[in-house]
Amino acid sequence: MLAAIREQCNATRSRLLSMLDGLTDHQLNWKPDDFTWSIAQVVQHIATVEGGAAQTITLGLAQEPNFVPRDIPLKQLLLDRSKKVNAPDRLRPSADPKTMAQLKEILDTSREKFLGALDSIKNIALLDKTSPPISHPVFGQMSTRQWITAALFHEERHIQQIEELKKRLDSKGRQCMD
């Protein structure tokens, strides 16, 4: 199971980095309006959530194994971009412009934390029987395994958002690409 998670992490991150490949710093930080995040801000948000998920996994594994998870269709819910979700303040990105190098460093740091949390798992049977002492802002109380799953699909969701932003950049943002 952990090998499959690592494989999915690597595939998703490769896809994200390929989406960013070739973008200038100006394009990364371009915002179509005052209410929409830039690509750089989306990447920061991905990293913040991933780093937070690492802490949440560790907290979950430290709990008594008496949790009974409910079925939550995380893949379906997280990949449905027709349903918008406002990130809690603690997960909102900085408005400060970022370079590609800074974004890659932020992503590398968050991935290192996430994989470190996965490496701390000694008994995968506990993933369904434990739950972090915090609730997910959208899904409520979840098992440690569900937190891991949510983190994986969260990045996929935001890759879709970056695709949407790149289309807007291509169609409406050409004047911003000088």
Domain of 16 in residue numbering reads as 2-21+46-155
Give the per-residue pLDDT at 176.
47
Q: Is residue 163 part of a domain?
A: no
- Name the pTM for this structure: 0.93
Q: Does residue 40 form part of some domain? A: no
Q: Is residue 137 part of a domain?
A: yes
**Residues in the chain, pLDDT under 50:** 175-178
> Is residue 71 included in any domain, yes or no?
yes
DSSP 79: T
In a domain? residue 129: yes
Note the pLDDT of residue 172.
64
Nearest in space to 50 (alpha carbons), one of 141, 128, 159: 159
DSSP for residue 92 = P
Q: Is residue 151 part of a domain?
A: yes
Residue 107 counted as domain residue: yes
Which residue has 């000694």 as its token pair? 122
8 within some domain: yes
Measured CA to CA, the distance from residue 153 to residue 9 in angstroms comes to 10
Q: Which 3 state secondary structure label does DSSP give 81? A: coil
Number of compact structural domains in the chain: 1
Residue 1: the pLDDT is 82
Contact 81, 153 (CB under 8 A): no
Q: Residue 20's pLDDT is what?
A: 97
CB 153 within 8 A of CB 100: no
